[in-house]
A and B are shown apart, each in its own frame.
Chain A
Amino acid sequence: DVKVTQSSRYLVKRTGEKVFLECVQDMDHENMFWYRQDPGLGLRLIYFSYDVKMKEKGDIPEGYSVSREKKERFSLILESASTNQTSMYLCASRRQVFNQPQHFGDGTRLSIL
């Protein structure tokens, strides 16, 4: 079974802090993704990565950056956290084979005070 692990289930940070959300997958998947999920807005793609050291902006990249130094790990960084970044963050990975499904982690519920 694919296992996607997000480092924290719940996280509370303060406005202006630099926040790191970590995601690790154990299936040697090439593609990894970060989404945020908000009530009424569904899932929105923040960034994704085709492979190591490669990244591409999703639909809402402003205020975020990412890092993928190793294939199994994809980090989402909030450079200077703001209250409007309070949300549920979901990481996913998939094999880069024709339309394979994405597999998701448990999510991190982040609160910015």
Chain B
Amino acid sequence: AQKVTQAQTEISVVEKEDVTLDCVYETRDTTYYLFWYKQPPSGELVFLIRRNSFDEQNEISGRYSWNFQKSTSSFNFTITASQVVDSAVYFCALSEANRDDKIIFGKGTRLHILP
């Protein structure tokens, strides 16, 4: 069965520190997609990235980077030089190729960036 685990419920770091949010997934499919979403205090989930199971290249977008490792079934998210505006709940999610209408979310990690 598919499952997404975000073991860190809540993290607090001081502004400008780097922080990594962990995501571990389980699936029997060989073809699947992984996602990260950000939910700021306003409530809307904002899509950040989608990565398919055949592309293990790390991705960087400004201060955000993602490390996908199939060997450990992990898709970790790092924020470099964190800012107060990065404070939010971050969700990792998984969808399988044969059921791409369903997306399985982790329970989220609440990130506090302290000024």
The yes or no verdict on A and B being binding partners is: yes
Is there an interface contact between A99 and B43, defined as CB atoms closer than 8 Å? Answer: no
- Nearest chain B CB to A108's CB is how many angstroms away? 9
Which residue of chain B has its CB nearest to the CB of A9? B43
- A106 contact set on B, CB distance < 8 A: 42-44
- Nearest chain A CB to B105's CB is how many angstroms away? 5
Distance, CA A48 to CA B91, complexed state (A): 20
Which residue of chain B has its CB nearest to the CB of A41? B107
Q: Does A31 contact B (CB under 8 A)?
A: yes
Number of interface residues, chain B, beta carbon within 8 A:
22
B81-115 CB contact bits vs A (8 Å, 1 = yes)?
00000000001000101001111011110000000
Is there an interface contact between B42 and A99, defined as CB atoms closer than 8 Å? Answer: no
- B107 contact set on A, CB distance < 8 A: 40-42
Interface hub of A45, A48, A98, A101 (most chain B Cβ within 10 A):
A101
Contact of B108 among A42, A94, A104 (CB under 8 A): A42
Q: List 13 A-B contacts (CB under 8 A).
A: A41-B107, A42-B91, A43-B91, A88-B43, A90-B45, A98-B97, A99-B50, A99-B97, A101-B47, A103-B47, A104-B44, A104-B47, A106-B44
The 10 A-B residue pairs with the shortest CB-CB distance in the complex, in nearest-first order: A107-B43, A42-B107, A104-B45, A99-B33, A99-B100, A101-B47, A106-B44, A43-B105, A106-B43, A101-B50
Binding site for A on B (CB under 8 A): 33, 35, 37, 42-47, 50, 52, 91, 95, 97, 100-103, 105-108
Q: A45-B102, A90-B45, A104-B45 are in contact. List 16 more A-B contacts (CB 8 A).
A: A40-B107, A42-B106, A42-B108, A43-B105, A48-B101, A92-B45, A98-B97, A99-B33, A99-B97, A99-B100, A101-B50, A104-B47, A105-B44, A106-B42, A106-B43, A107-B43
